[in-house]
Structure 1
Amino acid sequence: MKATTTWTQGTSSIITDNRGHEVTIDLPEGKGGEDLGATAFELCLMSYSGCVNTIFNIVAKKMRIEFTTLEVDTTGYQKDGAPTFTDVEVELRIDSNASDEKIDKCLQQTLKMCPVGVLFHQAGVNTTYKIEKLQKA
């Protein structure tokens, strides 16, 4: 696995992986950038959200949990002026007929397997989780 970042202009850069995908990063206008993309720090939080969503999907298939909606919000906090995240709240929203217990078990397994979450945990970031079961319209 490899990532390469190439400066493009101002504070903007393009990050590529070794599989041909790319992401533009930049700073907000208020911090000297042109707001052409998320910041690298924001990408960390976005990666956590995406990882939980992906791994939950994989685990749910193995557990035969069907769903029509799956959304994961991550909210990061930097307490006491910390330079990085000190706390992250993960909220999973799902529309499924599966029992609350089965969905919770799936999330617990997901959290053990999510490599981005493991990195956050190893870095000492306090993470809390919440599941919201959506009602079918």
Structure 2
Amino acid sequence: MKATTTWTEGFASTITDNRGHEIITDIPKEKEGTNTGASAFELLLMSYSGCVHTIFNMVAKKMRIEFTALEVDATGSQKDEAPTFTDVEIELRIDSEVSDEKIDKCLQQTLKTCPVGILFHQAGVNTTYKIEKFQKA
């Protein structure tokens, strides 16, 4: 696995991986950027949300949990002007007929194996989780 970052202009850059994907990063206008992409710091939180979503989906498939919608929000905060996240709340919303207990078991297995979540945990970030069932309109 490899990532390469190339400056484009101002504070913007293009990050590519060794599979041919690319993303643009930048900082907000109020910090003198052009806001052409998420910041690297924002990508951390986006990665956490994406990882929980992907791993939950994989575990759900193994557990034969069917769903018609799945959403994961990750909300990060920085207490006492910390330079990085001190707390993250993960909220998983799912439209499924499966029991709450089975969904909770799937989430617990997800949390044990989500590599991004493990990194956040090892960094000492306090993470809380919430599951909400909903019906997609």
Bin for the TM-score computed over the shorter chain: over 0.9
Local SS of the residue matching 1:36: coil
| Aligned residue runs from structure 1 range 32-111, under 5 A | 32-111=32-111
Instruction: For 1:79 and 1:62, locate their aligned partners in 2 and report how far apart those are by CA, in whole Å.
Output: 38
Structure 1, unaligned stretches of length 5 or more? none
Task: Tell me by how many angstroms 1:111 deviates.
Answer: 0.4
Query: What is the aligned partner in structure 2 of residue 29 from structure 1?
Result: 29
Give 1:33's aligned amino acid: G
Q: Alpha-carbon deviations, 1:15-68, whole Å to 9, x = none?
A: 000000001000000001000000000000000000000000000000000000
Following superposition, the deviation at residue 136 of structure 1 comes to 5.4
Runs of 4+ in 1 over 6 A off after TM superposition: none
Instruction: Report the TM-score, using the length of structure 2 for normalisation.
Output: 0.99
Question: What SS class does the counterpart of residue 46 from structure 2 fall into?
Answer: helix
Could you give the per-residue CA deviations for residues 41-97 of structure 1, whole angstroms, max 9, x where no partner exists?
000000000000000000000000000000000000000000000000000000000
Alpha-carbon distance between aligned partners in 2 of 1:65 and 1:49, rounded to the nearest angstrom = 20
Task: Tell me which residue corresponds to 2:16.
Answer: 16
Q: Which amino acid aligns with 1:82?
A: A
CA deviation vs aligned residue, 1:88-135 (integer Å, no higher than 9, x gap): 000000000000000000000000000000000000000000000003
Percent identical among aligned pairs is 80
Q: Which TM-score applies when normalising by structure 1?
A: 0.99
Give the secondary-structure state (helix, strand or coil) at the position aligned to 2:58. helix
Gaps of 5+ in 2: none
RMSD between aligned alpha carbons? Answer: 0.7
